[in-house]
Structure 1
Amino acid sequence: MRNLKVAALGCMLTMSLSAQEQAKGIVFEDANANGKKDRNEKGIAQVAITNGEDVVLTDSKGNYKLPLVDGQTLAVIKPSGYKLPVNDKNLPQFYYSYRPEGSPESKFKGISPTGKLPKSVDFALLSSTEAEEFTALIFGDPQPYTQEEVDFFAKGVVAEVAGIQDVAFGLSLGDLVGNDLDLFNPYIDAIADVGLPWFNLMGNHDMNFDAESDAFSDETYEAHFGPANYAFNYGKVHVIVLDDILYPDPRDGKGYWGGFRDDQLRFVENDLKLVPKDHLIVLAFHIPLSEPEGDPFRDADRERLFKALQPFENTLSLSAHTHIQRQDFFGKDEGWLGDKPHHEYNVGTTSGDWYSGKLNESGIPVSTMRDGTPKGYAFIHFKGNSYEVDYKVAGKPNDFQMEVFAPKVVAQGRNTKAGIYANFFMGREGDTVEYRIDNGEWKPMQYVQEQDPSYELMVYEWDTTEELMPGRRSSNPVVSTHLWRGSIPAKLKKGSHTVEIRATDQYGKTHTGSTKYRLE
């Protein structure tokens, strides 16, 4: 059967009609949670099922039929009011991978042979009371390259949220590991300790690099986590998870390119036809739709995605990959077709700057990112079809939302080109950021596109020290998209002066920070 597959320009393989199967089954309410449909358990109507391209609804008795070919995966799209079963590692169980002869041979093992298609592929759902107000926990790029870095992730991030309450589910935004796919299981073991149903998506360091076409680049990922493209509902939120890495790059067969195959975009289009227009659509993928350098995303794919989203007023995209943090907004000039700009939140990473920097008191790298954002994770608070985001710096109090920089000492009465800087981690151009000295008048700070001096100081310590420091030198600084500057009043009395900062984010929440400088 393998030789019947034809790959073209990275598109999903299609099969001859003779190789196409007809999958059927039932979606049922698993009242006793045993994973099997018992005689007295009823099917659930109007539940969406997909083969990764087509999307159908179950009938009044919970039955469905879908075409299926080797290489596709059947998945239930969880409806609101139900929860998915999870395995002993808290990974949701919502799919059936169809690989009669198994995945192609590769360095890292893919899916074992599944054999003949079962007569009925059934999906269990558990009844659940879902509030329309809930919180999700978001991780960007855990990306360990070694077992030691898995331990850094577990001790420095996972341990901080282990057993967390009042959170509905978690989601990691790709680069679950760093090229060594044997680390998938250690990652799974680590993330299980959070104690939440945990969704995942594929990053460019989670691929089978020996795959000859994009359709096979996710086989090891799928063996561990299920389909790379899927969706689920929670309250009035519809989440679509996508693999947006084209590998090998269809332009030259080398490296990768951000974008989608045709079958993936058809899945999105077919899926959205069944979603109420007043729901919030949350897209989750690894590579941002737009990056500031180079040509990282295929324009035609972004345009087609935006066209599919046009009927929806409320949308949000989540991405990672960059190892910085920023807020992007797409309007008419960027090809967005809706009246309200589309917000993409490029989330700071749990690995920070790839586990670099000084070691803290626990022996874990501080790993501040190149734009001055400390490593951490995000909480998204949903309320109906609206949302707010909080960023939590790992190892710091919840209210630590900015890094404030000022010179330690300044000459009294003498103008200086030095400045007071506030790196407001969740900030964006247009936010209100103000400062005052010694309880004086609040004055606006100027938004600047510069490197964060606090991060520069941290990095250059490695280059000026006389002795080697434990850990690994951080990456060079990059321009921050959430930095503000104020001038230093030098015509004050000698001695210490207190600087206070207050910043108002896009959700109307106010955050504060402070520092001191001395006049001599």
Structure 2
Amino acid sequence: MKKVFLPFCALLFSIPFMAQTNVEGFVFEDHNKNNKMDRNEKGISNVAVTNGLDVVLTNKDGKYNLPINDDAIIAVIKPANYKVGVDENNLPQFFYNHKPNGSPKLKYKGVDPTGKLPKSVNFGLIPQQENDAFTALIFGDPQPYTQAEVDFFAKGIVTEVAGIKNVPFGLSLGDLVGNDLALFNPYIKAVKAAGIPWYNLLGNHDLNFDATSNEMADETYEAHFGPANYTFNYGKVHFIILDNVLYPDPRNQKGYWGGFTANQLQFIENDLKLVPKDHLIVLAFHIPLSETEGDSFRDADRDQLFRLLKDFPNTLSLSAHTHIQRQDYFGKKEGWLQEKPHHHYNVGTTSGDWYSGKLNQQGVPVSTMRDGTPKGYAFINFKGNQYNIDYKVAGKPKTYQMEVFAPKVIEKGRSTKSGIYVNFFMGSKNDSLHYRIDQGQWIALEYVEEIDPAYAIDVYEWDLIEELIPGRRSSNPIESKHLWRGKIQTNLEIGEHQVEIKAIDQFGKIHSGGTSYRLENKK
């Protein structure tokens, strides 16, 4: 979706004289699901339609009218209790791509010429009953660089959720592929196996890198997925999907920067005017709103976004990009304009640490991330305007929510600098974790920002072993933002001692884990 819409007066001078400057059509109930407005199918009033900047509501007959230029995407904003049709690949069809002359010539093909604008651009919606309690499936960064890595993604992730029930849709948070846009179709084919409507957003590895402007950097993405900025409703949740990759970087025309254009922010403002204030606003984009290292996001854009959200008490934002997992909370110090902090969830990735590590029994790289988070995906559970989140580690039971590390054997009675480490994958420093040994007293674990020793051991094994290991060495460990430490008791009896862990997450869910260590006398 293009982010630049010229005012009407500018359009008169910038496009051919006979070019149309408005688009109109109907939003209708598509009872026979043929995506055509038949004579007996009525229009739907008060449905939002957008050109990527302006947002209007249909009238009593279901009709809308919007300004348009020759590089635009018109999209219906799915209301609650309706669904849009999907194509043969389960991609939602809620848009009309209008490029009479097609995309400019780039390395990877964009949109074919669409020709003259139809007299009426109509959108069919199919009535459905939507429960206010529902679950969405979220993938971070599939990011395959080769067909072999597409196969890893399909085999290691998608097969786990193939044919999933009671989940109305899924969403991938960008970096759908790794620079090679010819892999969009293999990626689409892989995700199709989930068997549910699948939304996507654009990441920094999904760009036309030979584009000379930000407006042209999403041409191939648009050809496969439609608009890069769009919104939809489900139950009492309003989803805002955004391209927050500025390319080329406006500071030096090299690389990219996180942020929003002025027109994107105007689109959000126009969109939110039509959303009830008590609904939950879920924003999804690729680059996190803030990172601890580097200048990855334009602060002024985040501040403006927060101003637009100031009257919405229920919000959540999602990102991926970093190939780690984090919970961030924005308060007044960070520019948030409400008393209750804003929760930003940086989701762990389906590619993990870029398909690195040893191969599992399936022949798929284990690919644990640098902060010790195993690769996986998230389920966001909604109930009205509230939510909670579950992280599912690929190839593990859903109860596997932490990795617990302790030395195997320790000398009895001698103090040690070793510790019991708990990597609670969904945790943050606001959480409370406790441990006990041999069913003794519960003791609080200390939150620390260190590397996960369990992950470090796995990585450095590649440097110490004297033979080649199938797979590829993982990235060096970094400080984890969800790590806790406890002291090891050495004044116990000789023998094995059981360690139990209890963690309570931010949603009040209780998780458990454990390990053991052995005490011996030194010989």
Instruction: Encode CA deviations 1:455-513: one digit per residue, 9 max, x unaligned.
Output: 00000000101001010000000100000000000000111100010100000000000
1:166 equivalent in structure 2: 166
Could you tell me how far apart the structure 1 residues matched to 2:4 and 2:67 are?
15
1:146 equivalent in structure 2: 146
Say if 1:376 and 1:392, in contact at 8 Å, map to a contact too: yes
Amino acid of the structure 1 residue aligned with 2:489: P
TM-score, length basis structure 2: 0.97
Could you tell me how far apart the structure 2 residues matched to 1:96 and 1:121 are?
7
2:11 equivalent in structure 1: 17
1:395 equivalent in structure 2: 395
1:358 equivalent in structure 2: 358
1:177 equivalent in structure 2: 177
Could you tell me how far apart the structure 1 residues matched to 2:338 and 2:213 are?
34
Could you tell me how far apart the structure 1 residues matched to 2:440 and 2:389 are?
31
1:95 equivalent in structure 2: 95
Say if 2:359 and 2:366, in contact at 8 Å, map to a contact too: yes
1:223 equivalent in structure 2: 223
* Aligned partner of residue 481 in structure 1, secondary structure: coil
Amino acid of the structure 1 residue aligned with 2:182: D
Could you tell me how far apart the structure 2 residues matched to 1:38 and 1:70 are?
28
Could you tell me how far apart the structure 1 residues matched to 2:88 and 2:326 are?
35
Could you tell me how far apart the structure 2 residues matched to 1:192 and 1:493 are?
56
Amino acid of the structure 1 residue aligned with 2:435: Y
Give the C-alpha shift of residue 224 in structure 1: 0.2
2:437 equivalent in structure 1: 437
After the TM superposition, which residues 205-216 of structure 1 pair with which residues of structure 2 at under 5 Å, given as runs?
A: 205-216=205-216
Instruction: Encode CA deviations 1:138-157: one digit per residue, 9 max, x unaligned.
Output: 00000000000000000000
Amino acid of the structure 2 residue aligned with 1:84: V
1:50 equivalent in structure 2: 50
TM-score, length basis structure 1: 0.97
The count of aligned residue pairs is 511
Q: Which runs of 4+ in 1 moved over 3 A?
A: none
Could you tell me how far apart the structure 2 residues matched to 1:208 and 1:394 are?
31
Amino acid of the structure 1 residue aligned with 2:366: V
Amino acid of the structure 1 residue aligned with 2:381: H
Could you tell me how far apart the structure 2 residues matched to 1:68 and 1:254 are?
31
Instruction: Encode CA deviations 1:383-421: one digit per residue, 9 max, x unaligned.
Output: 000000000000000100000000000000000000000
Amino acid of the structure 2 residue aligned with 1:17: L
Could you tell me how far apart the structure 1 residues matched to 2:512 and 2:41 are?
54
After the TM superposition, which residues 462-501 of structure 1 pair with which residues of structure 2 at under 5 Å, given as runs?
A: 462-501=462-501
Give the C-alpha shift of residue 17 in structure 1: 2.8
Give the C-alpha shift of residue 14 in structure 1: 2.6
2:243 equivalent in structure 1: 243
After the TM superposition, which residues 328-407 of structure 1 pair with which residues of structure 2 at under 5 Å, given as runs?
A: 328-407=328-407
Give the C-alpha shift of residue 220 in structure 1: 0.2
2:318 equivalent in structure 1: 318
1:7 equivalent in structure 2: none
Could you tell me how far apart the structure 2 residues matched to 1:376 and 1:115 are?
43
After the TM superposition, which residues 67-216 of structure 1 pair with which residues of structure 2 at under 5 Å, given as runs?
A: 67-216=67-216
Residue 293 of structure 2 corresponds to residue 293 of structure 1: yes
Say if 2:168 and 2:196, in contact at 8 Å, map to a contact too: yes
Could you tell me how far apart the structure 2 residues matched to 1:119 and 1:499 are?
70
Amino acid of the structure 2 residue aligned with 1:380: I
Could you tell me how far apart the structure 2 residues matched to 1:144 and 1:14 are?
37
Say if 2:3 and 2:52, in contact at 8 Å, map to a contact too: no
Amino acid of the structure 2 residue aligned with 1:365: P
Could you tell me how far apart the structure 2 residues matched to 1:356 and 1:188 are?
22
Could you tell me how far apart the structure 1 residues matched to 2:3 and 2:401 are?
43
Give the C-alpha shift of residue 223 in structure 1: 0.3
Give the C-alpha shift of residue 21 in structure 1: 1.4
Say if 1:90 and 1:198, in contact at 8 Å, map to a contact too: yes
Instruction: Encode CA deviations 1:4-31: one digit per residue, 9 max, x unaligned.
Output: xxxxxx9625362323610000000001
Unaligned runs of 5+ in 2: none
Could you tell me how far apart the structure 2 residues matched to 1:80 and 1:453 are?
47
Could you tell me how far apart the structure 1 residues matched to 2:48 and 2:130 are?
18
Say if 1:313 and 1:339, in contact at 8 Å, map to a contact too: no
Could you tell me how far apart the structure 1 residues matched to 2:287 and 2:406 are?
35
Amino acid of the structure 2 residue aligned with 1:217: A
Could you tell me how far apart the structure 1 residues matched to 2:211 and 2:311 are?
37
Say if 2:11 and 2:69, in contact at 8 Å, map to a contact too: no
Say if 1:282 and 1:316, in contact at 8 Å, map to a contact too: yes
Q: Identity over aligned residues, as a percent?
A: 68
Could you tell me how far apart the structure 2 residues matched to 1:246 and 1:348 are?
22
Amino acid of the structure 2 residue aligned with 1:150: V
Say if 1:13 and 1:215, in contact at 8 Å, map to a contact too: no
Say if 1:371 and 1:478, in contact at 8 Å, map to a contact too: yes
After the TM superposition, which residues 252-267 of structure 1 pair with which residues of structure 2 at under 5 Å, given as runs?
A: 252-267=252-267
Amino acid of the structure 1 residue aligned with 2:35: G
